[in-house]
Amino acid sequence: MKTTPNDFPISETIKNRWSPRVFAAKEMTKDEVQILLEAGRWAPSSNNLQPWRIIWGIKGSDTYDRIFNCLADFNKQWAGNAQVLWACAFKKTMKDGEKENFHALHDLGLFMGNVSNQAQEMGIALHQMAGIDFKKAGKEFNFTEEYHVATAVAFGYYGGDASSLPKDLQDPETKTMRERIKQDDFAFNGNFK
């Protein structure tokens, strides 16, 4: 269990969430994946465009392996113990296809915020990764030019064995105190400082 030294009271779901790199061997089901996708589906988005597009695979499936093969080498060191992998993309343009959707990445983030909270309520951990070869993934999954593969996500149940990770990843996994910058460093009642 991690300790979250919050300065103000927050939801237990948020307080207890963290991003492990090792997961329990307990399998995840298609139904669980669909519950997570449903939670994301109800995220707010600019103009209700819902620009997110998700490719998902359960461990042992061809799609899982295809996503895994698009990951950066660093993430391949640990992500293979996840029970589910996602490749997350967004549509870069508005409805007419002519105007850029500058808010699409923000909307994908809101989608994943919903997914993260739902997963935590289900006892499922997730770890989002920037380390995905977006060009390779775009080609692999037949995305057109109007889409950008932004991230990958590894899912599984909390409780894996940190000693199975490479040595340099074991310390962050077993560290019990979580850290965040203070509110005064990112929120300003007035001008940016």
Q: What is the pLDDT of residue 137?
A: 98
| In the chain, where the domains are located | 19-169
pLDDT digits (tens, 9 = 90+) for 6-46: 999 999 999 999 999 999 999 999 999 999 999 999 999 99
CATH code for residues 19-169: 3.40.109.10
* Dihedral sign from CA coordinates of 140, 39, 115, 29: negative
pLDDT of residue 193: 84
Counting as low any pLDDT under 50, the low residues of the chain are: none
Q: What is the pLDDT of residue 30?
A: 98
Give the pairing type, strands 84-91 and 52-58.
Answer: antiparallel
User: Given this model, what pLDDT does residue 164 score?
Assistant: 92
For residue 96, the model assigns a pLDDT of 81
Confidence (pLDDT) at 126: 98
> How many CB atoms sit inside 10 A of residue 101's CB?
20
- Rounded to whole angstroms, the Cα distance separating 2 from 172 reads 11
- Quick one: pLDDT at residue 1? 76
Q: How much is the pLDDT for 99?
A: 93
- Predicted model pTM: 0.95
CA-based nearest residue to 50, from 86, 96, 119, 103: 103
Among residues 87, 86, 100, the alpha carbon closest in space to that of 145 is found at: 100
Contact 128, 151 (CB under 8 A): yes
What is the distance, to the nearest Å, from the Cα of residue 118 to the centroid of all Cα atoms in its chain? 12
User: What are the angstrom distances between the C-alpha of 22 and each of 3, 19, 56, 101?
Assistant: 18, 9, 19, 35
